[in-house]
Amino acid sequence: MTAPIRLAVIGMGKIANDQHLPAIAANPDFDLVATVSRSGEPVGDLPLFPNIDALIASGPVVDAVALCTPPQVRRAIAATALAQGWHVFLEKPPGATLAEVVTLENAAQAAGASLFASWHSRYAHGVEPARAWLAARTIQRVTVTWREDVRVWHPGQEWIWAAGGFGVFDPGINALSIVTRILPRPFFLEDAVLDVPANRQAPIAARLNFRDDAGVPIAADFDWRQEGPQHWDIVVETDQGILRLADGGATLTLPTGETPTQADGLHGEYPGLYARFAEVIRAGTSDVDVAPLRHVADAFLRGKRETVEPFVE
């Protein structure tokens, strides 16, 4: 495929409007042809459909869809799109369960379509230089602090507190997507504590302890109750000093004080995601890494649940 990829965006919430639409508009590989949402306004003169079945029935020519819906409902929509032979971009997390993502990957292969499980934080400017620098060092300890105010970043999003909504792991999985990318060895969960509000199904905070194959400890502190300054930081202690990733991976500081960034010329995480989506479509491949989701699943499997005060927005 060499012509622009005709794309429909499904799920026109905050992330679609704030991140997806600007990235699509700036990428000549894509031509936005329709949007799908149960509510909201059309984008310019483009048609707006209430669901994917209405999109299919209307007959617009579509090559690919970007799914920005909550994860609990995404599998059925993605399966329908793949059955049409459409390429599928999955907003993070790629699904509500590991099994459904594997099922979608198999469906994409059977349909000859591309499936892209996106992890936007991996496209932050400091991530790839951090990965390259750590590859030649001995890692001694990793500390992750991901603390933000849910009222600021996810106002009114009730689905996120329901079963399958991930709770604090919605931002926490961003940290895990970076750590699984920059560390040279796989790691596993040893123990976790999940703070679950008395009136919710999903945790508002989590403390996790991992260890890699060489015995290196990795500690993560995720919290949605942070007021004041927000923290999205990863600190890696090595035999040659401390590497720091701040601002969700956007700012890398090496022990020398250097602050290198990736040299691909992209500005922002979502432009990088759409460049990668176009790449896998044109190559006829898929990009589905479930490592971050696997660690979240392990936290729910092994984590100790502690009931905390109700959360009222």
**Tens-digit pLDDT profile for residues 257-277:** 988 876 655 557 999 999 999
Residue 206 belongs to what H/E stretch?
Answer: strand 205-212
Q: Is 74 helix (H, G, I), strand (E, B) or coil?
A: helix
Q: Which superfamily is assigned to 5-117 in CATH?
A: NAD(P)-binding Rossmann-like Domain (3.40.50.720)
Active site residue 14: no
At 268 the pLDDT is: 78
At 1 the pLDDT is: 60
Domains of the chain by residue range: 5-117, 122-263+296-308
Mean pLDDT over 185-194 rounds to 98
Supply 131's token pair: 């990965």
Q: Is the pLDDT of residue 71 over 70?
A: yes
Nearest to 64 by CA among 51, 82, 41, 46: 82
Q: Quick one: what percent of the chain has pLDDT higher than 90?
A: 90
Higher pLDDT, 134 or 59: 134
Nearest to 65 by CA among 11, 107, 106: 11
At 263 the pLDDT is: 60
Mean pLDDT over 203-210 rounds to 98
In terms of phi and psi (left: phi > 0; alpha: psi -120 to 50; beta: otherwise), the region of 287 is: beta
**Tens-digit pLDDT profile for residues 75-122:** 999 999 999 999 999 999 999 999 999 999 999 999 999 999 999 999
Distance CA 142, CA 262 (A): 22
At 90 the pLDDT is: 98
pLDDT, the chain, mean:
95
Least confident of 76-85, 138-147, 150-159, 259-268: 259-268
At 264 the pLDDT is: 59
What letter would DSSP give residue 154? S
Mean pLDDT over 202-217 rounds to 97
Using CB atoms within 10 A of its CB, is residue 284 exposed (0-12), middle (13-18) or buried (19+)? exposed
Q: Is the pLDDT of residue 125 over 70?
A: yes
At 150 the pLDDT is: 96
At 262 the pLDDT is: 67
Nearest to 304 by CA among 165, 175, 208: 208
Mean pLDDT over 5-17 rounds to 94
Q: Given 20, 92, 147, 154, which residue is catalytic?
A: 92
Q: Is the pLDDT of residue 294 over 70?
A: yes
**Tens-digit pLDDT profile for residues 295-309:** 999 999 999 999 999
Evaluate whether the domain defined by 122-263+296-308 bears CATH number 3.30.360.10: yes
At 267 the pLDDT is: 59
Nearest to 296 by CA among 167, 195, 185: 167
Rg (C-alpha) for the chain, rounded Å, is 20
Mean pLDDT over 176-193 rounds to 98
At 260 the pLDDT is: 82
Residue with tokens 């896998």: 280
- The answer to whether residues 178 and 289 touch, using CB atoms and an 8 Å cutoff, is no
- The answer to whether residues 127 and 135 touch, using CB atoms and an 8 Å cutoff, is no
